[in-house]
A and B are shown apart, each in its own frame.
Chain A
Amino acid sequence: MVKKVLKKVLNQPEVYSIVENLSISLQESFQIIDINNVVVFPGVEQEFCDSHPIYVTDILLGWVMGSAKVAVVAQIISYIASLELQKKDLANETLAKYEEVNFIYEISNQIASCQTISEITLVLIEQIKKNLTVNDVKVVLLNKTTGKLEEMSLDSDGLTLISTIEPSTEIAANVFHSGQAEIINNANFDERYVSKTTTVHSLICTPLIIHNHTIGVIKIYSEENEEFTSQHLKLFTSLSSQAAAAIQTSHYYEKLKS
């Protein structure tokens, strides 16, 4: 990406015009070539004695070919290219935030219209799988009658109860008891990870907490070599808070009905 910046900068008519005007003002002819020796600013074809590197941080983007007087052109282009890269980084970051906000907005809207825990769980699993590059999502909820943690997943038959989790033997159980979210990259090296499949690379567990009381856990798995980051943790923690509030509301609703 960085190495294509020089071409992109000189493709902007305003920048190209500035470079042309510099050539006129300096009364010097020069050529600009990129890292692959492709001419991106032709100037007048002739033999040039000097080459002035165009750098962004430590990365070489190309050269301005010409006399010592045109070193300033290389300096200016280096500066414009660094601004272009900063703009790109900022845009990338903003796009990621935009996606995140949209995702939370969409999931909040859907959860708000759910009346049962099954519906909430279904929305959570479907939306996370649809919007993020994760392989599996499971929701673990405390069964108040049995006192056991029940793990639910989505398959072709819809939402199904997979298994009950023995307290203190699994990561989800640990997160449930501590109330602290966890990222586990390289899950197979974590002794708490009870492997049902061997393909899981990393997972995030976030507790579902309402009024300082944990009612369950969301488990998100990735089979790819991609590692979860603190950004993921922030996103899923915020999602878990909303889901917990919705689950609590559905409890109240059930109570009212009965």
Chain B
Amino acid sequence: MNRKVLIVDDEVNILILMEQALEKLEEEHKVTLLKAKNGLEALKIIKKENPDLIFLDVMMPEMNGLEVCKIVKQDLQMHKTYIIMLTAKGQELDKQTGLAVGADCYMTKPFRPKEVLAKSTEVLNLI
């Protein structure tokens, strides 16, 4: 079965960089990469595509990452979907709140491409 990874960030640059960092998964493991520019768009894709892994930025317009995470984990009860919160350096409070609303892990931005790829490979069990 094809695995799906959703990247959610309002910064287009980050979306492109994350997609590039995860290119190997797409090419070697046929993982489908999905992208969303805000929380609302992300929720639509999550309901339709049921991704295995979500990289979720915290600070976004319309609906922030924490709200999306809460809806996915608590309202939609999608416990199998692994959520990695992306927080800017220094947002310690966000990390705690993110974990409290059900996020599985967090990563700080600027992110390390190798770390992102390694974590995704591990979560998707592609080792």
- Interface size on B, as a range, is 10 to 19
Answer yes or no: B21 CB below 8 A from chain A CBs.
yes
Answer yes or no: A92 CB below 8 A from chain B CBs.
yes
- Indicate if the CB atoms of B110 and A91 lie closer than 8 Å: no
The total of Cβ contacts below 8 Å across the A-B interface reads: 26
CB-defined contacts of B13 to chain A, threshold 8 Å: 94
Answer yes or no: B112 CB below 8 A from chain A CBs.
yes
Docked complex: B1-57 residues within 8 A CB-CB of A = 13, 16-17, 19-21, 27
- Bound: A151/B27 CA distance, A: 43
- Indicate if the CB atoms of B27 and A99 lie closer than 8 Å: no
- Bound: A249/B78 CA distance, A: 54
Question: Among B19, B27, B113, which residue has its beta carbon within 8 angstroms of that of A98?
Answer: B113
- Indicate if the CB atoms of B16 and A99 lie closer than 8 Å: no
CB-defined contacts of B16 to chain A, threshold 8 Å: 91, 94
Tell me how far the C-beta of B13 lies from the nearest C-beta in chain A, rounded to whole angstroms.
8
- Bound: A1/B17 CA distance, A: 17
Q: How many residues of A contact B (CB 8 A)?
A: 13
- Bound: A95/B17 CA distance, A: 6
Task: Tell whether A95 pairs with B110 under 8 Å between CB atoms, given A1-B27, A4-B27.
Answer: no
- Bound: A88/B23 CA distance, A: 10
Question: Among A4, A95, A101, which residue has its beta carbon within 8 angstroms of that of B21?
Answer: A95
Answer yes or no: A180 CB below 8 A from chain B CBs.
no
CB-defined contacts of A98 to chain B, threshold 8 Å: 17, 110, 113
- Indicate if the CB atoms of A95 and B20 lie closer than 8 Å: yes
- Indicate if the CB atoms of A105 and B113 lie closer than 8 Å: no
CB-defined contacts of A99 to chain B, threshold 8 Å: 112-113
- Bound: A38/B17 CA distance, A: 30
Answer yes or no: A102 CB below 8 A from chain B CBs.
yes
- Bound: A92/B16 CA distance, A: 9
- Bound: A101/B17 CA distance, A: 14
- Indicate if the CB atoms of B27 and A91 lie closer than 8 Å: no
CB-defined contacts of B112 to chain A, threshold 8 Å: 99, 102, 131
Question: Among A92, A94, A105, which residue has its beta carbon within 8 angstroms of that of B110?
Answer: A105
Tell me how far the C-beta of B103 lies from the nearest C-beta in chain A, rounded to whole angstroms.
22
Task: Tell whether A102 pairs with B19 under 8 Å between CB atoms, given A1-B27, A4-B27.
Answer: no
Which of chain A's residues has its CB closest to B110's CB?
A: A102
Contact flags B107-124 to A (C-beta < 8 A → 1, else 0) = 000101100000000000
- Bound: A222/B21 CA distance, A: 24
Most buried by A among B17, B19, B20: B20
CB-defined contacts of A88 to chain B, threshold 8 Å: 20
CB-defined contacts of B27 to chain A, threshold 8 Å: 1, 4
- Indicate if the CB atoms of B113 and A92 lie closer than 8 Å: no
- Bound: A94/B20 CA distance, A: 9
Contact flags A1-31 to B (C-beta < 8 A → 1, else 0) = 1001000000000000000000000000000
**Shortest 9 CB-CB distances between A and B: which pairs?**
A91-B20, A95-B20, A102-B110, A91-B16, A95-B17, A98-B17, A99-B113, A95-B113, A92-B20
* A91-B16, A98-B17 given; 14 more Cβ-contact pairs under 8 Å: A1-B27, A91-B17, A91-B19, A91-B20, A94-B13, A94-B16, A94-B17, A94-B20, A95-B17, A95-B21, A98-B110, A98-B113, A102-B112, A131-B112
Binding site for B on A (CB under 8 A): 1, 4, 88, 91-92, 94-95, 98-99, 101-102, 105, 131
- Report 13 cross-chain contacts, Cβ distance below 8 Å, ordered by A residue: A4-B27, A91-B17, A94-B17, A94-B20, A95-B17, A95-B20, A98-B17, A98-B110, A98-B113, A99-B112, A102-B112, A105-B110, A131-B112
